[in-house]
Structure 1
Amino acid sequence: MPEGPSIVILREEAASFAGRKVLRVEGNARLIDVDRMRNQPVRAVCSWGKHFLIAFPTFALRVHFMLFGSYRIDERKPNANVRLSLGFAKGRELNFYACSLKYIEGPLDETYDWSADVMADAWNPRAARKKLSAQPDALVADALLDQSVFSGVGNIIKNEVLHRIRVHPESTVGALPSRKLGEMIKQAREYSFDFLEWKKAYVLRKHWQVHAKKTCPRDSTPLSYRKHLGRAGRRAFWCATCQTLYE
């Protein structure tokens, strides 16, 4: 599943479509009326966490890539059925595959809390702390994946942030010392920007410390692994030696 930084890359790559008119619409999307976008001008392309958004004058298209979604710009994915293809002048096109599509009515500001997006200029760590204080019994592994608190954080970022701050994923939010809670909030954003830099340089996997790894790079301890951890039921990798369990 693409995490927030990957959607930021898409937003940047698709920025040149702002101001262009959709001339052609095709694909196998069935849950929305794709013809609604035909002849509509793109006002802006933006993102909120894992959501890629194409804003038109009175509505927006939300693209969520789920687990296996992908996209291509100005080219087609070979041997794949396109979910949605938007064609523009001079042969330009945006192509989306295996994703969820939904229309957002009205201004995006009425739907999205930009302060929850860990990569947005409007990100508000104080608001994140307030939201976390309302769920003291939540596991930190679940809290980091809560998109209303940390929009854009996915499973890779979750695992790496908790290793970076030396916190066990089954620690509860309320049991974390105030300093550790602050570190978790800070690193959710900082690691996301590190992720973005590494992904752009095609070296992201080289920087993983625990995600999909077998040994802790700090103390050489074999990493613990669980296929389904917490309410979110996502994969977890952690070091039982250097990541403290707070409960």
Structure 2
Amino acid sequence: MPEGPSIILMKENLQQFAGQKVTEASGNAKFEKEPFVGQTLLEIRTFGKQTYLVFEKAAIRIHLLMFGSYSIDEQTKPDKSLRLALVFSTHGMYFYTCSVKPVDLEYLSAIDWEADVMSDLWSPEKAEKKLKSNPEMMVCDALMDQDIFSGVGNIIKNEVLFRTGIQPESITGHLPAKKRKELIKEARNYSYDFLDWKRDFTLKKHWLVHTKKTCPICGQKLIKKQTGKGKRRSFYCEKDQKRY
């Protein structure tokens, strides 16, 4: 599943369509697309792993899920995979194998934009308050909770926990205040490092533990284990990551 930084890159690639009017709309997503024909794409907003195409009368929410993708200018996958195609005066955007849903403009005002780790509105204070209100949650689950750290995915989770020296099955309520603040800070820091490396096509070269076998600090074999309620893959070092 694409994580927040990859969605930021998608937004940047789609930005060329802002201010343009839709001339055609199609795809097998189950909603009426005709009302969007003739509407102008006012802006593109992102919230974690979600993208919102904001029009004059409504918005369209795009979530790429596990295997979603998109293309610009031409349809690159078969019709059965095409959830939405929006054609403008000279170019088009195409979304495949993803969740596409129209939402009212009022829906946007209800989103907690301060929970997005890559947003200018990001509030570390609010994230800390949410962590404190969930003292029994495993840290691996907390980092993946989109209401707390919107945009964080499994790669960011594993790398942030290694950077901060926290074992993924640690309990949030057991973290010392200093370590809790460090976790929150690194969730944002690593997301921006991820974005820079993704732009340079060097992301995987910078992974320290994700999908790796040995610890880059001590050389000990890393633990690979499904952790938390979500049973997502965690890679961690028993020596260099403390369980709180």
Aligned-residue offset at 1:37: 1.5
Aligned-residue offset at 1:78: 4.3
Q: Which residue of structure 2 aligns with residue 42 of structure 1?
A: 41
Q: Distance in 1 between matches of 2:211 and 2:78?
A: 29
Q: Which residue of structure 1 aligns with residue 200 of structure 2?
A: 201
- The letter of the residue matching 1:14 is L
* Number of residue equivalences: 243
Over 3 Å counting, the alpha-carbon distance change for 1:198 and 1:47 in structure 2 is same
State yes or no: 1:26 paired with 2:42: no
- The letter of the residue matching 1:189 is R
Q: Which residue of structure 1 aligns with residue 172 of structure 2?
A: 173
Aligned-residue offset at 1:191: 0.2
State yes or no: 1:223 paired with 2:222: yes
Structure 2: gaps spanning 5 or more residues: none
State yes or no: 1:8 paired with 2:8: yes
- The letter of the residue matching 2:160 is V
Moved over 4 A (4+): none
Contact 2:77 2:96 in 1 (8 A): no
Aligned-residue offset at 1:107: 3.6
Give the % identical residues: 46
Aligned-residue offset at 1:36: 2.4
What TM-score, normalized to structure 1? 0.95
RMSD: 1.1
Contact 1:116 1:149 in 2 (8 A): yes
Q: Distance in 2 between matches of 1:221 and 1:75?
A: 48
Q: Distance in 2 between matches of 1:78 and 1:119?
A: 30
- The letter of the residue matching 1:64 is H
1:186-223 CA distance string (max 9 Å, x none): 00000000000000000000001111111111111111
What TM-score, normalized to structure 2? 0.97
**1:63-102 equivalences in 2 (<5 Å):** 63-79=62-78, 81-90=81-90, 92-102=91-101
SS at match of 1:127: helix
1:60-119 CA distance string (max 9 Å, x none): 1000011000111113224563211100112x0101000001122124542211110000
Structure 1: gaps spanning 5 or more residues: none
Contact 1:63 1:100 in 2 (8 A): yes
SS at match of 2:135: coil
Q: Distance in 2 between matches of 1:122 and 1:108?
A: 18
